């Protein structure tokens, strides 16, 4: 295909796919954005805090209704169950663990026996956000970070906060309390919210109209059958990545628009909520940073309430517990479970191998970038940068492999119900289980040099 033909196809793609994608995206979210703005103005007007909590809860309920209609009742049932458990166990010192078990049972029973798969997958995100908020509140009560059990209005205002209840992200109870204080409206607040919303629409366009046509339409790369398989896998991975960035940036926008997501230093307020870091995923230093940049609030939640509680079991068991908790919160999905379990091995092996190599060579080749005052002798030599680049390409290789199963071209019904196990096995077998073999080889190499 020559350049003129390629440009013509790109123009047709922009007209047929681009315009309709943006229109549908805005049509789905404009009422939620209006709700967030109304909620923010109500917080700013002041008044009794109980009224603010009620406004937060009611606007959240209406936001859920806009997206899920009466299926939102399952989310409300979870809210009621969480508060009942917290109320009954208010004198216990293990509220976090007890509530986690109750929520897990509720989610498993609901998915397996009470609700059809399509409906469950639609409300799964909101269920997860509510569950994470309730569990974090329970652990904070155990640790004394939160002094006493919030009132019903305060609890519902928190878990149903309109800026986060539909698309996320998780926010702490203290962040919610700061939001209802109603900081003054400012140009920086509006600009930050609008910029995140604009980024979300750009990511939606890339996921829908660009990524599926990367090779060879937009980037003229051809090759053998094996090469074509990996190029197609990379297209699937990039499309999936940008769909996640869409949700992440959208959740940044809705959270800040509703008044959450700022930091205050003296009299200076910065609206700096970050949910995703696309560059850290698409051009990664390591898989460890990919995991933390994929969903920053959830990564923080898992580290604070899963990893730190399980670290007494040992580092690797704690990592397994953390990824298992993430998988269970996402539901009984084989493909997500397989990806998260694979990630636990990949990140652990990468971490220990790079730590060992950094010790042997006294070089800055750890999974995370070293500080300027680190004790390593070799910091910016060419061979150090080359070795870090090799690990970066290895991370891209793993991401391509793991994301290959998220095929936007498969049957829509299969996507709504969740990919079947055979779909995951088939996609990875087509790539000869390459990533798993590479991880195994890295682990063997690590054991040999230990």
Token digits of residue 177: 């309390």
Whole-angstrom distance, CA of residue 309 vs CA of residue 322: 10
The CA distances from residue 191 to 137, 187, 270, 271, in Å, are 31, 6, 11, 9
What sign for the dihedral angle of Cα 232, 237, 239, 240?
Answer: positive
Cβ neighbourhood burial of 401 (10 Å; 0-12, 13-18, 19+)? buried
Which residue among the candidates 71, 121, 330, 376 is catalytic per the annotation? 330
Query: Do 260 and 43 touch, CB atoms closer than 8 A?
Result: no
Whole-angstrom distance, CA of residue 358 vs CA of residue 269: 39
- Cβ atoms within 10 Å of 377's Cβ, excluding its own: 10
Whole-angstrom distance, CA of residue 64 vs CA of residue 160: 9
Whole-angstrom distance, CA of residue 185 vs CA of residue 314: 47
207 closest CA partner among 165, 168, 250: 250
330 belongs to the catalytic site: yes
Residue 169: cis peptide before it, omega within 30 degrees of 0? yes
Token digits of residue 233: 């896998």
Backbone φ and ψ for 268, nearest 5 degrees, come out as -100, 120
Strand partners, 262: 271
Token digits of residue 214: 């990367």
Strand partners, 269: 264
Any idea which residues carry the catalytic annotation? 330
């Amino acid at each position: 295909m020559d350049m003129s033909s390629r440009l013509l196809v790109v123009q047709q793609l922009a007209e047929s796919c681009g315009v309709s994608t943006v229109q549908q995206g805005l049509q789905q979210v404009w009422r939620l954005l209006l709700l967030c703005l109304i909620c923010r103005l109500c917080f700013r007007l002041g008044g009794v805090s109980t009224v603010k909590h009620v406004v937060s809860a009611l606007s959240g309920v209406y936001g859920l209704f806009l997206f899920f209609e009466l299926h939102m009742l399952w989310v409300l049932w979870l809210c009621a169950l969480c508060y009942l458990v917290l109320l009954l166990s208010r004198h216990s010192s293990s509220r976090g663990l007890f509530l986690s078990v109750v929520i897990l049972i509720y989610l498993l029973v609901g998915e397996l026996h009470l609700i059809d798969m399509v409906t469950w997958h639609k409300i799964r995100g909101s269920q997860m956000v509510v569950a994470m908020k309730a569990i974090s509140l329970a652990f904070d009560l155990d640790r004394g970070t939160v002094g006493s059990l919030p009132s019903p209005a305060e609890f519902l205002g928190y878990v149903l906060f309109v800026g986060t209840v539909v698309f996320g992200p998780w926010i702490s109870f203290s962040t919610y309390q700061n939001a209802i204080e109603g900081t003054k409206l400012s140009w920086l607040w509006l600009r930050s919210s609008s910029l995140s919303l604009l980024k979300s629409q750009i990511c939606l366009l890339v996921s829908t109209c660009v990524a599926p046509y990367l090779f060879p339409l937009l980037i003229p790369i051809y090759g053998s059958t094996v090469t074509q398989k990996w190029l197609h896998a990379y297209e699937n991975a990039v499309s999936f990545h940008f769909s996640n960035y869409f949700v992440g940036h959208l959740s940044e926008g809705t959270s800040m628009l509703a008044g959450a997501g700022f930091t205050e230093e003296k009299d200076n307020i910065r609206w700096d909520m970050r949910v995703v870091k696309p560059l850290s995923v698409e051009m990664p230093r390591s898989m460890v940073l990919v995991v933390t940049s994929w969903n920053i609030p959830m990564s923080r939640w898992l580290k604070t309430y899963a990893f730190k509680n399980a670290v007494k079991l040992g580092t690797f068991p704690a990592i397994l517990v953390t990824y298992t908790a993430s998988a269970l919160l996402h539901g009984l999905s084989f493909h997500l479970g397989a990806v998260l379990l694979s990630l636990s091995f990949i990140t652990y092996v990468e971490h220990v191998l790079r730590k060992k190599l950094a010790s042997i060579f006294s070089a800055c080749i750890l999974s995370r970038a070293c500080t300027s005052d680190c004790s390593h002798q070799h910091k910016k030599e060419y061979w150090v940068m080359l070795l870090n680049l090799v690990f970066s390409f290895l991370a891209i290789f793993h991401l391509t492999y793991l994301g290959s199963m998220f095929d936007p071209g498969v049957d829509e019904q299969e996507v709504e119900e969740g990919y079947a196990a055979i779909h995951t096995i088939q996609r990875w077998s087509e790539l000869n289980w390459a990533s798993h073999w590479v991880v195994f080889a890295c682990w063997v190499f690590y054991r040999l040099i230990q």
